[in-house]
Amino acid sequence: MPSTRASSTSWSSGSDQTSASAPPIVLDDVSLRFVSYRDKQYSFKRAALDLLLRRDGTPPAAEFWALRHINLRIESGERVGIIGHNGAGKSTLLRLIARIYPPTEGSVMIRGTVAPLIEMGAGFNPELSGADNILLNGALLGVSRRAMKARLAEIWEFTELGEFADLPLKYYSSGMYMRLAFAVATSVDPEILLIDESLGVGDEAFKSRAKERIRRLLDRSRVVVIVSHDLNALRELCTRGIRLERGRVVADGPIGPLIDQYLADAHRTAG
């Protein structure tokens, strides 16, 4: 890796001691709070009134800690599956690692390029042609225009959409749209791969090819973090499991036993 980055700044010097051994993902006592305001559009009028009447701003309607005191180190080569019930904070954790949400407390340290497959077609513009969208999406994922152009042929071949390359995206069917989004997202070479529940797409024929493509992508990535309810897929793909409950890590270890325990607990509460 070229080391042209300035390393003299005081606050980043810690991170510049990165040898190959430094873990790519480190979460240090991370908490994340969501505040839902009664109305998001806190207006000027309100702000002015609050100031005049010396009210302490509008009290937020609800405060909610989505993640609480998370400590996590994920080493190079690990494939981590995150399990937990709905609302346990799985997707929030993934978004935090993707740097979409900043932590309210604590610090997150990410080393390496991140490819977040969190939602398909992030940044697609319906007015642009399929080819232009591929280039734009590639740029967002950190792939240069030239490098992305080199992959165009492969993407068209995989999606079998080559004849629609110049058609604006808004005329694509939703199936075509998904296929293109999937192909673009999986064409990158990330160091850290984040996947949120997006393993199955399209019709049966496409599905099997998609699986194969995902597998190759996993092999190319140094670190993989997957959120899914498909426990069998996780058992198959991951080496390590993390179980979240109400924003806290309640278990962390080899994926097999973790899932067994999770299932046992689920049965107990059900029965």
Minimum CB distance to other proteins, residue 219 (Å): 7
Residues 6 or more apart in contact with residue 247 via CB below 8 angstroms: 32, 65, 66, 67, 68, 70, 88, 89, 92
Is residue 18 within the footprint of other proteins (CB under 8 A)?
yes
Does position 201 bind other proteins by CB under 8 A? no
Our CB check for other proteins shows the closer of 47 and 263 to be: 47
Calculated CA dihedral for residues 219, 114, 80, 75, nearest 10 degrees: 90
Q: Which of 94, 120, 122 is nearest to 228 (CA)?
A: 94
Rule CB under 8 A: is residue 141 a binding residue for other proteins? Answer: yes
* Cβ-based nearer residue to other proteins, 68 or 265: 68
- Which residue among 49, 51, 61, 139 contacts other proteins (CB under 8 A)? 139
Q: Does 116 bind other proteins (CB under 8 A)?
A: yes
- Which of 69, 41, 140 minimizes the C-alpha distance to 99? 140
Q: Which two tokens stand for residue 225?
A: 């973090």
Q: Looking at 179-270, which runs of residues are DSSP E strands? A: 192-196, 223-227, 240-245, 248-254
Nearest-approach distance from CB 223 to other proteins, in angstroms: 10
Per-residue x/- track, 38-77, other proteins (CB under 8 A): --xxxxxx-x-----------------------------x
Residues 96-115 that bind other proteins (CB under 8 A): 98-103, 107-114
Angle subtended at Cα 163 by Cα 160 and Cα 167, rounded to the nearest 5 degrees: 115
Residue 118 as a binder of other proteins (CB under 8 A): the answer is yes
Q: Measuring CA to CA, how many Å separate 162 from each of 64, 180, 181?
A: 46, 10, 14
Binding interface with other proteins (CB under 8 A): 1-2, 5-6, 9-12, 15, 18, 34-35, 40-45, 47, 77, 98-103, 107-114, 116, 118-119, 122-123, 125, 127-128, 132, 135-136, 139-145, 147, 188-189, 191, 219-222
